Amino acid sequence: AIPKKENYVKAEVTLNFSHNGADYQIKRSIAYDIQNQKEINQEVEMSQIYPSFKKITEPLTALNPMLPPNVRTYFFFDGEKIDEFSKPEHDKEVKDAVYQVLGFNTIDRAITHLRDILKEYNKEIGQKSSGRLRDLYERYNELLKQEEELEKKLQELKDERKNLEINIEEIKGRLREIEEIQEYMKKKDNIEYMIKDTEDQLEIVYDELLKIVNESFIFIGAKALDLTEELIKNELQNSNDIPSKYLIKFIEKLLEEKTCICGETLDPSKRNTLLRKKAEISIEIKENPTDEIFSTIRESLTKFKYLGSEKLEDLKSKFIKKEELKEKLEELKKQLDEIDQMIGSYPTEDVRKLINELETASENYGSMETKIEKLENDLKDKKKDIENIQR
């Protein structure tokens, strides 16, 4: 906003854009009388600034041929129209306009075109095939058709759900404006936020539990791991020989530090003898790797058992977390019910009417969520069937 005189203020917006190789500038300004609280003047100026400067006398007339028909409505509009455009009935109209400006509609058409070509190819291949191959292509084409129908139905339901979300938020907005229940509405908003956050946390814990359960072979095989480790331990203990890999490590440490574990300094003349011994042991490991294998397996089993123990502790902590979140969620829902009862018992017809509208919209939303979840699962199964045929 640009201050003009004591009782006036002027706001300006400047937009630069290009069209067909030329650059343009549009400036829209509004002057407002603060004292009388009314608009004084509104101006729209447009100029071509490249490749040559030229003032355009009729901006709106010049703009119309440049803009797609479904975008013109949104190019210039006053702030009060934002509320109108945000209503559910304008959802598709606004979406189409955005797609037009960003070029998404071109991508959509390309995807549709490619799908149509794929259908034709599959149909033609099916007609030219015979026997088992023909049956597969017929089944494949039928599955593609079913998949397309499911995706279309799913999108319709998601659009309906979006409209319900907008409707629910509008009703809540009107309830928030009623001064007598504003405090209750603040509490309701806060509790609903906490419920959503707790449900999200619970979903994460369920996913983590599922992942751990899918790795439950660690627990199932725990007894076998213990038995295997005991057998290998006995085998190693019954042998008087030091495992070869430990001998090699001992020699390497001795050569590096030049001091024995007993404290004596290594005689330099013994260096070559130790190197030869290391080489001999390495050859023995290659020719007879049994003790090396036993030693490695035992170490691996120890690590594996530790991993199982760690997973078990993780599983226990996740179950505890799950129960804590479930209790918290139950308590929050009780609090929400109490708040809803307080709001619903308020002796004003407007409040009761809005509460009834909110309850109906919320029930419809819950029903819509169930339908969407079922369709998403059906679509997932259909995609798996298609993948199986493609193999």
Is the pLDDT reported for residue 100 higher than 50? yes
At 10, which helix (H) or strand (E)? strand 8-19
pLDDT of residue 159: 87
pLDDT of residue 351: 83
Contacts of 357 by beta carbon, 8 Å cutoff, 6+ apart: 171
pLDDT of residue 153: 92
8-19 and 22-33 as β-strands: parallel, antiparallel, unpaired? antiparallel
User: pLDDT: is 86 or 240 the higher one?
Assistant: 86
CA distance 370 to 17: 46
pLDDT digits (tens, 9 = 90+) for 214-251: 665 544 444 444 544 454 455 444 444 555 555 566 66
User: pLDDT: is 280 or 200 the higher one?
Assistant: 200
pLDDT band of residue 97 (cuts 50, 70, 90) is low
pLDDT digits (tens, 9 = 90+) for 169-210: 888 888 888 888 888 888 988 999 999 999 999 889 888 877
User: pLDDT: is 58 or 260 the higher one?
Assistant: 58
Cα 131 to Cα 137, 142, 387: the distances in Å are 10, 17, 21
User: pLDDT: is 237 or 36 the higher one?
Assistant: 36
At 178, which helix (H) or strand (E)? none
3-state SS track over 28-95: EEEEEECCCCEEEEEEEEEEEEECCCEEECCHHHHHCCCCCHHHHHHHCCCCHHHHHHCCHHHHHHHH
pLDDT of residue 318: 83
Output the six-digit token pair for 61. Answer: 């007339």
Average pLDDT over residues 85-92: 64
Cα 225 to Cα 212, 214, 222, 299, 300: the distances in Å are 19, 19, 5, 12, 10
Q: DSSP letter string over 180-211?
A: GGHHHHHHHHHHHHHHHHHHHHHHHHHHHHHH
Are 43 and 28 contacting, i.e. CB atoms less than 8 angstroms apart? yes
pLDDT of residue 243: 56
Average pLDDT over residues 84-112: 70
pLDDT of residue 237: 46
pLDDT digits (tens, 9 = 90+) for 308-351: 566 667 778 888 888 899 999 999 999 999 988 888 887 778 88
Contacts of 63 by beta carbon, 8 Å cutoff, 6+ apart: 26, 46, 72, 75
CA distance 254 to 257: 5
Helices of type H across the chain: 59-63, 69-75, 80-85, 91-102, 104-128, 131-176, 182-214, 217-220, 222-237, 244-257, 271-287, 290-344, 349-390
pLDDT of residue 248: 60
Are 136 and 389 contacting, i.e. CB atoms less than 8 angstroms apart? yes
pLDDT of residue 23: 93
Apex 274 CA angle, 272 and 278, nearest 5: 115
Is the pLDDT reported for residue 287 higher than 70? no
Average pLDDT over residues 22-44: 83
pLDDT of residue 43: 85
pLDDT of residue 297: 53
pLDDT of residue 227: 47
User: pLDDT: is 127 or 54 the higher one?
Assistant: 54
**Range in 2-6, 82-86, 172-176, 224-228 with the lowest mean pLDDT:** 224-228
pLDDT digits (tens, 9 = 90+) for 117-170: 877 877 777 777 777 777 787 788 888 888 889 999 999 999 888 888 888 888
Is the pLDDT reported for residue 72 higher than 90? no
pLDDT of residue 47: 94
